[in-house]
Each structure stands twice: as C-alpha cells, then as structure tokens.
Chains A and B, each alone.
Chain A
Amino acid sequence: MSHELTDKQKKALAFFDSRLNSKLITHLISCVHCGLCGTSCAYYITEERPENLPAHKVDIVARIYRRYHTFAGKHFPQLTGAHDLDDELTTEMIDSLFGRCTMCGRCVAHCSIGVDIPFVVRTGRMMLQQMGLVPKSIQSTVDAAINTGNNMAIPKQDFIDTINWLNDDLQFELDDDTVTIPLDKHDVKMLYTVNPREPKFFPLSISAMAKIFYLAKESWTLSTDYYDITNYAYFVGDEEGAKLLTERLINETLKFGADTLVLGECGHGSRAMRWEGPNWLGKPYPVKAITVVELIAQYLREGRIKPDPAKLIKERVTIHDPCNLVRNGGVIDEQRYIISQCCTDFVEMEPHGIDNFCCGGGGGQLAMSEYNDRRLRIGKIKADQITATGAKIVVTPCHNCVDQLSGINLEYKLGVQIKSIAEIVADTL
C-alpha cells in the first residue's frame, strides 16, 4: 500500500522524474548487488557496515525509482525492494548520502558493472535539497556564498586589506616596489579565483601565486566581488544555486575583459566550473576555463618560470591527488610534471593518480561538522598512505584537501608539512 505523500515529497519526486535521462536510468538499474564495491570505498574499508557499501547508497535512490517507475515496483514492491519515499527512507538518505559518501568516485571504475555511484548519490542529495533536508551546516556555507559572494562571508574590505598586506609583503620579498596583486583590473587576460580559505587562513598561497604570475609576466587580476572558486551548491544538489555561482564567475571574467578564467587550487570548485558549469548554463562558456595546475605546468614547459636549482626542495615529497581534480577532472600528469621540476625526492603514494583514495574531506564533508568523527576515521587510510611514503611534505592542489590533510596530520601525528602547488613552486623561484 502506497503511503500518502507530503507536498515536499511530491516536489522531490517531480524533480526526480525531470532528471530521468538515459544516464541516470542506466545507473539506477544496472547494479547487480554483487557487493564487490565495498573494498574500494574508504567508508566500507574503515568500517564494514552494510550502510557503508557503495551499492547501498545507490540502492536507496534506486528503490525510489523502482517504486514509482517500474511495473514490478508499482505492483509487487517487495519483489524488487522498491520503497515509498517516506520519512523512514529520507532519514536513511540523509545519513547515507550526506554522511557516508565523499562522492570521490573511487568505487566507479572498480564496480563490476560500471555504476556511477556518486552520480546517483548526487541525485539523491538533489531530492533531499528539494525537500529542504540538506544538513544545516553545509546549507549555511551555500547560503553564505550566494548571499555574500564567498562561502566564508568574508567582508569585501577585509579581503582588500588582506590582499594589500600580501602585496606589501611580496614587494619586500621580490625587492620590487612595482609588483602588485591586481584587484579589479580591467583589460587583462586572466581572472584568477581562490578558495576563501586562502584569504581567511592560508593567505601566503595567494602571494605564492601572485609571485608566479609576476615572474611569468602574466596579465591577470583578482575580483573583489566574486573571487570564490568553491561551489558547495554542487554538493548539496542545488542546481539553481550552482548555476548562479557559475554565472557570476563567467560574467566577472567578461567584465574585466579577460578571456580566461583561472580555477584556483580547489578540487570540487574546479570540477564544478570546468565540467558541470556549462551544463548548468545550458551552453558552452564564452571564455576558456583552465585549472591553475595546468597553467603552472604550462609556464614551466614554456620556460616562463624557471625553478632555481639552488632552491629545489630536497626533502621527500609526495602528492595527494584530489578526487575531483584528478579522477573526475583529468588533471593527472600536470602536478607530477610540476613536482618533478621543483623537487629532487618525489615518491608516489600507493595507490595514486586516478586510483587514489579520497582524503576524507570531499563531497562537502569538511562543511558538515556532524560527521567529523567519520571524516577523521576514514582519513586513517590516507594517513597510512602518507606514512608509507616516508615523505616530509605532502603537496596537494586543493585547499579543502589541505584542510583535511592538516586535520589528519594532527589526529594521526604524522609530522608532515602540507603545501599547495603554488606554494611549492613559489618556494623554488
């Protein structure tokens, strides 16, 4: 017997119907319940609970599909495990889809069939968003980005003051009074974006990038209104919000007469802007979007910046590959090329590249304090990987990963330094 749907549940189901394209239907139907994906997921490896299994996360959403869109599910729900969208299921959805998945996608390539598990997880998150059931902590991050222009609600003047202070510092370091970190400069080639964690907690990574731009003689600017590369609306499944944040950056690029939007060191932000954004807008971008990792690699290849052999990093270095940038964004070799130019002792983690393990902070986990324990627990896998390399420095081109790795560093007493790509490059120039 079908239960009485509330208005919000009806809204979520109507939304679900509207999303049922070839890709989604395929991934909702294909899982054969073999259970072999468990050993690819950090949550299941850390804790062998049925609800940590990737297939379980898919099945929660697939049960709804079967209930409302298949003959067997409509008439014999017990046969296929079809389930009404009710309070019991939505509670399970919140816990599993928000609290037990970083949407890292590691399980996808290892699945027996090829089910795109995080794609289905995101669809489930979208349904929760339609019902107003997004965890408050991450929703407030989205609200801050939409209402203030950056997800940390940094007042504009504070941002300007920070940049001016960094500017003075950079002039001192380079012993050149003419060097500037340009703000709202028109007729430039590139608009550079940053993760708001940078001006707030890691400002030196901005001056590191400014140094690289300066030495590469690049024409660029930062915007004082819209500089935030992050897009947590993507993680909560708020398509309208994600589209708005995308539009802002594209419009800002055009406003300054730039033809290139440089996506700062943020994995999910880069993925959202580079790969998902054009689809939210429903058209290709009028400007080029390039990740800062690709740009720095290009500068090095073209000889526009040259590491000083005397300043090369001698300590052992390893790379943590951000899932959204690497496995889901195709930036795989560039960071390795950069490190090979700047460091003398580089060791890969095992596994690495597109097979890497998530640090545990992806999928918005860093913004959901209610799941902090789980986040740090699954970080143990990364901690063990780092320890096995014997590295003293962990480089990662993502400030969310930097944050999570710093947490892991403390929790598991690793005693390593965590650095961004720009920082490691700037140190050698």
Chain B
Amino acid sequence: MTIYHWILLAAIFFCIAACFMWFIKLMQRRVKDYAEAKGSDIDGVEYSCTKAMLPNHKESAYKHLPTYTAGIIFHIGLFTSFILLLLQLIIPEFLNSPPLGDKYRIAIKAMSLAREFSSGREWQDWLRLILGLCLCVSSCCGIAILAKRFMNKTLKDLSNLDDYISNMLVTLFQIASACAMLFPLWAPSKPMLFIVATILFLYIPFGKLRHFIYFFAARIHLGIFFGSRGVWSMKNKKK
C-alpha cells in the first residue's frame, strides 16, 4: 500500500461518512400524509424507479436524445471507473498481466489485435484495452456535456461554478481511469488516478455530486406522491 492508497481510503471514508449524515437527516425528517390514499405508494415507488425512468416516458430523454445518451454513457463510465478503482484498491494485482502499452503505441496494438488474440495473449490485456477505450468514449461524453453547458445560453445562465467543477472532476476521473487501463506500466498512471479520485471523493459531499443519493430519494418521494394519488401505477397502460 502506497501513501496514495491511504489518502484515497481516508477520502472515501470521509465521503461515505458525510453522505451517511445526509441520509440520516433525510430519514429523520420524514413526513406523514393524512390524506386517504387512492392508489398504492409502494406501487408508485416501483413505477417511479422503473417504467417512469424509461426514455420513452420522459421528455427530458426522448426530446433530447443526444444529450440524454451522452449523459447515460457518462454515468456508466463513472460507475465503471468507481468499480475499477475499488478493484485496484482491494486487489492491487488486478489486471496486472503483461501490459498492453509497454512496447507499442495503442494504435499499432489496435491494428494487430486479431493476430495477438490468436497467438494466445492474456485475457486481461483485452479486457483492459476494451475498458480503457470505453472510458475514453465516456470521457468524451463528459467533455461534450461540459461544452454544451458553456455554449447554451439557458444552461449557462442556470449553471454555477459547482456545475463546471463537478463535470470536470468526473471527466478527469474517467480519463485517469482510462489511462490506468491503457498504460498500466506508465509510472504516473496509478498515482494520477488515486489523486484525482481522492479530490473527487473529498468534493462529493459539498456540491451537486450528492445527487447520487438524492436521485434515489427524489424517485421515492415522487413515487409516493403519484402512487398514493392513483396517478402512477405499474398497471398504467402508457404512463
């Protein structure tokens, strides 16, 4: 374990503790609804967390498909990066087979993939290459979303510093994660990933990135609201 590992672990602990406090605050301040229900709140929550989130049910998705798709890829990239980071923390030798980027440039490697595959290259190399390239794509999505925030007047007006910082941090995290996948023998790749991850974890409790907890709380509140009023239910034909 290097010093980077320890600092990162401390940051993760801080983030979890802060988020746990937010969660407790939410649980303590629950409200009772005295109105006689017309439908089922449980059914509503189920609907809210499943069907209601389908892209064909939300204008924010089907009327904005490019942004929506970029957002989804960006989030998948983030979760993938988190998982890879955890795996690298728990199993330091994770995916540590003979590296892909040590002798040749990636472009040349990509051209000779088929030949290498047939010659019995380690599966870890392939996995790392694929993950690394996917993370490059998700990072590009993050950059595109950031560019839109800078360029769209309405969005720019709505945004604050936190919106830009949050996007940049998450994008950097994915870029660092991609580098760690593609160039594992490049000495700075792991420290760089750990440093960016540390900053990210320390920042999460203070800005909009907290929405990873509040998103679920919002879906639950919404499900209770529309479910008890008989508006949302799993049985609903269209909506």
Contacts and interface: CB of A to CB of B under 8 A. Distances in A.
B60 A40 contact: yes
Contacts of B219: 113-114
Contact of B222 (A36, A114, A289, A332): A114
Contacts of A32: 208, 211
Interface stretch (B61-69, B105-113, B176-184): B61-69
A35 B26 contact: no
Contacts of A354: 231, 239
B154 A50 contact: yes
Q: Which size class do A's interface residues fall under? A: 35 or more
A204 interface: no
B35 interface: yes
A78 B207 CA distance: 12
B114 interface: no
B90 to A, nearest CB: 30
Nearest to A72: B206
A20 B30 CA distance: 10
Contact of A22 (B58, B158, B221): B221
B217 interface: yes
Given A21-B31, A26-B221, A59 B60 contact: no
* SS of B interface (majority): helix
A34 B26 CA distance: 24
A110 B52 CA distance: 9
A283 interface: yes
Interface in A107-151: 108-116
Nearest to A36: B60
B225 interface: yes
B25 interface: yes
B214 A22 contact: no
A269 interface: no
A80 B162 contact: yes
B163 interface: yes
A22 B218 contact: no
Given A21-B30, A23-B221, A110-B58, A33 B214 contact: no
Contacts of B163: 33
A79 interface: yes
Given A36-B60, A59-B158, A26 B217 contact: yes
B29 A22 contact: yes
Interface string B32-51: 01111011000000001000
A330 B39 CA distance: 8
Contacts of B29: 20-22, 25
B58 A27 contact: no
Given A29-B211, A36-B60, A330-B229, A23 B158 contact: no
A72 B207 contact: yes
A305 B206 CA distance: 61
A55 B158 contact: yes
A203 interface: no
A275 interface: yes
A114 B231 contact: no
A283 B58 contact: no
Contact of B153 (A21, A39, A50, A78): A50
A30 B221 CA distance: 12
A329 interface: yes
Interface in A253-279: 274-279
14 contacts: A21-B29, A21-B30, A21-B31, A23-B221, A26-B218, A30-B217, A35-B158, A39-B60, A39-B64, A70-B206, A81-B160, A278-B33, A284-B34, A329-B229
Given A26-B221, A39-B63, 8 more contacts: A35-B152, A35-B154, A36-B60, A55-B158, A56-B158, A72-B162, A109-B58, A113-B219
Interface of A: 20-23, 25-27, 29-40, 48-50, 53, 55-56, 59, 70-72, 78-81, 108-116, 274-279, 281-285, 289, 326-330, 332, 353-355
| Among all A-B residue pairs, the 7 with the closest Cβ atoms | A81-B160, A330-B230, A36-B60, A278-B34, A50-B157, A110-B59, A330-B229
